[in-house]
Amino acid sequence: MSFLTDRKRAVGMGASHVGTHHHWSMTVSSVGLLILVPLFVFTFGPMLGAPHAEVAAFFARPFPAIVAALTFVVGFMHFKNGVQVAIEDYTSGMTRKILIIAMICLSYGAAATGVFAVARLAL
């Protein structure tokens, strides 16, 4: 490590120690959602209120199932990172830590539940 200069270690990292990684993940997931959200809205939307057999048959097809599963994963990861910034803006100390951890747990839990449900419907 002694071959690295302080400047080399500092460049691009900022106060967060991970540089702009958080912002970059928001950028990537937002572009992903720009593609996924319209696809999800116009496949999931018409199925609301449809008979159970029709819903099961529809999400047994690859395209609607993959779109739904991807939307849950990318959407909840986008929410996890976005809500963290909001929490950091308005709270501090222990409250901040508890809220961030709770929202991370909720996001992974909801994403996993959504993917499990889609997989069970599809397979």
Partner 1 sequence: MADVNRGNRPLSPHLQIYRPQLTSITSILTRISGNALLLGALLAVWWFLAAASGPEHFAIADGFITSWFGDLIMLGSTWALWYHALAGVRHLIWDTGRGFELQTAETLGWAVIIGSVVMTIFTLIVV
Residue 72 sits in the site that holds partner 1 (CB under 8 A): yes
In angstroms, how far is CA 103 from the centroid of its own chain? 11
Report the length, in residues, of the chain: 123
By beta-carbon proximity to partner 1, the closer residue of 11 and 112 is 112
The single residue listed with the structure tokens 């986008």 is 78
Q: Binder to partner 1 among 22, 39, 66, 82 (CB under 8 A)?
A: 82
User: And the tokens for 53?
Assistant: 């057999």
The single residue listed with the structure tokens 């308005």 is 90
- Binding interface with partner 1 (CB under 8 A): 27, 30-31, 33-34, 37, 41-42, 44-46, 48-49, 52-53, 55-56, 59, 68, 72, 75-76, 79, 82-83, 86, 110, 113-114, 116-118, 120-121
